[in-house]
Structure 1
Amino acid sequence: MSAPTYAPARTLSWVRRLPSVGTVLCLLVVGFVLVAAIAPGWVTDRSPTAIDLTAALQPPSWQHPFGTDDAGRDLLTRVIHGSRQSLGIGLGATALAFLIAILLGFTAALAGGVVDAAITRVLEVAFAFPALLLALLVIAVRGPSLATSVIAVGIGSAPGYARMIRGQVLAVRQAGFIEAATALGHSRFAVIRRHLFPNAMRPLVAVATLGVGQSIVWASGLSFLGLGVPPPSSEWGALLDAGRLHITTSWWLEILPGLVIVLVTLSVTSLGRTLQNRLGGASR
């Protein structure tokens, strides 16, 4: 008689469901940034605006791991405090973009006919413009500020999301459970609220996560050009803008905040990809 097979297969299946090392590291990075954004005092007890001209432009050391800027302010402290603005712009811009996209995408998909054609053409024209160009138009009208950065990046991102939402709603409308709910006598609003909206939006949760990282990069780019959050803000793009005058002599003012932007963006994007794969696998 052959020996019976025991639980190794089940054990391997359980192991495969564990998050990878990369995912854990990304969670740690995002978790640290969230803590720094919500309660920066838990991470550092220094003030991001404390000026010490005797310590100006000091390179990275044990006392100042990221060095100091031209006013002697601790750069790491400014990066920590700037996470609230940078992450806030990323979350706020993505939320605004999805709000606009949901209104346009659902209206186009559910109304159909002339309304769908009109909204689709508007979205195609807007999508033809680079998102940063749309953001620059908003900034030219409102002027640079934190709120303007959120609005500008949100409006610039909305057309792409609206097209995805419209396509998703059109696909879900043809599903059998939508027809069954309608045949059972549920009202149109009830079908949309209980069946169409949740199923159309569920795959887009991961897309929203990816959008946060993209929004942080765009907002940082606008601030680097002097069109985002104005100084003396410690928003990450503003730190890059303030340090570019000393890039040849004080490399840390550009390199270290830039590495933070890259690390956080990659971590958020990686988590979004992981979430996208998990939701995609669960929906099949």
Structure 2
Amino acid sequence: MTVKTLTAAPKPALGTVLSLLVVTWVLTAALAPSVLTDGSPTAIDLHATLLPPSWEHPFGTDDAGRDLLTRVIHGSRQSLGIGLGATALAFLIALVLGFTAALAGGVVDAAITRVLEVAFAFPALLLALLVISVRGPSLATVVVAVGIGSAPGYARMVRGQVLAVRQAGYIEAAAALGHSRFAVIRRHLFPNAVRPLVAVATLGVGQSIVWASGLSFLGLGVAPPSSEWGALLDAGRLHITTSWWLEILPGVVIVLVTLAVTTLGRTLQRRLEGAAR
């Protein structure tokens, strides 16, 4: 007689739980900021300028008397939107180039691969700066710039993943059973090639937020008086020696959100790798 033992599912690590809390907070701030604050990010109070953090103003106020925490909360929508939009654009470009190169082969594959190698040789931030210099700084330009800057690295991963999946036995079996090339790609190749890249896309969101904030801090992204996190850093640098909270606290939020998204991405990556075994 065989006795089956039931093993409990492993409990999530503390870092994963904290990351979920941070991501939940930023999603709430982006989708429903009124749940976290009833203030306006543009409300000016000249009698409360540059106040340090206190119970009334946990993040202090800026040089126009605006509550910094309220501005950080309302800026979550723009910052998270840039991260998600830029990552989606980068993967859309990567999927088109990666699949085209891997499936076409020959001269097409060689040409796309060379273009990706040349683009990958440039720092991604440099490519983003090139796009901004052509289009001019704006929210849409930042999304396009960061997306294009990230695309070459993702395209190389997509191409490698497609080439690996093409050699799998189930792909050959589906073709041998008489399925059309399009059906094999749609039902078998595409899902199995893209699934492991979901975690990579999650990691890319945090990276895109950091790059977008850096561009705004340099004055090449979203400009003040926007409450996008990089724009807050740009506006606060004029007072960094006297009002430290204008730089430090938005910077801490950017770091925490990026770490949280990265941690969840790593966790998802490990789960997907474990499920594939």
Check whether TM > 0.5: yes
Matches within 5 A, 1:121-140: 121-140=114-133
Q: CA deviation at 1:14?
A: 1.2
Question: Over aligned residue pairs, what C-alpha RMSD do you find?
Answer: 1.2
Which letter maps to 1:271? Answer: L
Distance 2:183 2:28 in 1: 39
2:167 pairs with 174, 184, 188, which one? 174
Shift of 1:140: 0.3
1:73 to 2:66 alignment: yes
Deviations 1:92-148 (A, max 9, x none): 000000000000000000000000000000000000000000000000011100000
When the two structures are aligned, how many residues end up with a matched partner?
A: 276
Q: How many angstroms does 1:15 deviate by?
A: 4.5
Question: How far off is 1:260 after superposition?
Answer: 0.1
33, 46, 59: which one aligns with 2:52: 59
Q: Does 1:197 align with 2:190?
A: yes
- TM-score, normalised by the number of residues in structure 1: 0.95
**SS of residue paired to 2:8:** helix
Distance 1:59 1:218 in 2: 28
The corresponding residue for 1:118 is: 111
Please tell me the residue identity of whatever aligns with 1:103: V
Q: Following the alignment from structure 2 to structure 1, what is the Cα–Cα distance between the partners of residues 129 and 184?
A: 40
Equivalent residue, structure 2, for 1:153: 146
1:83 match: 76
Any stretches of 5+ residues in structure 1 without a counterpart?
1-5
- Whichever residue aligns with residue 81 of structure 1, its letter is H
The Cα of 1:231 is off from its aligned counterpart by: 1.5
Give the letter for the 1:14 counterpart.
Answer: A
Residue 21 of structure 1: how far off its partner (Å):
1.9
SS at match of 2:95: helix
CA distance in structure 1 between the partners assigned to 2:177 and 2:228 by the alignment:
53
- The alpha carbon displacement at 1:168 in A equals 0.2
2:8 to 10, 14, 19: 14
Letter in 1 for 2:201: A
1:232, distance to aligned residue in structure 2 (A): 1.0
Counterpart code for 2:194: M
TM-score by length of 2: 0.98
Q: Extract unaligned runs of 5+ from structure 2.
A: none
Number of the residue aligned with 2:274: 281
| 2:37 alignment partner, SS class | coil
**Structure 1 residue aligned with 2:93:** 100
1: distance between equivalents of 2:129 and 2:247? Answer: 23
Cα distance in 2 for partners of 1:21, 1:126 equals: 39
Residue type of the alignment partner of 2:21: L
Do the aligned partners of 2:224 and 2:234 also contact (CA within 8 Å) in 1? no
Cα offsets for 1:124-180 (capped at 9, x unmatched): 000000000000000001110000000000000000000000000000000000000
Moved over 2 A (4+): none
Q: What code does the residue aligned with 2:255 have?
A: V
Question: Distance between the aligned counterparts of 1:63 and 1:198, measured in 2?
Answer: 51
Correspondent of 1:165 among 152, 158, 168: 158
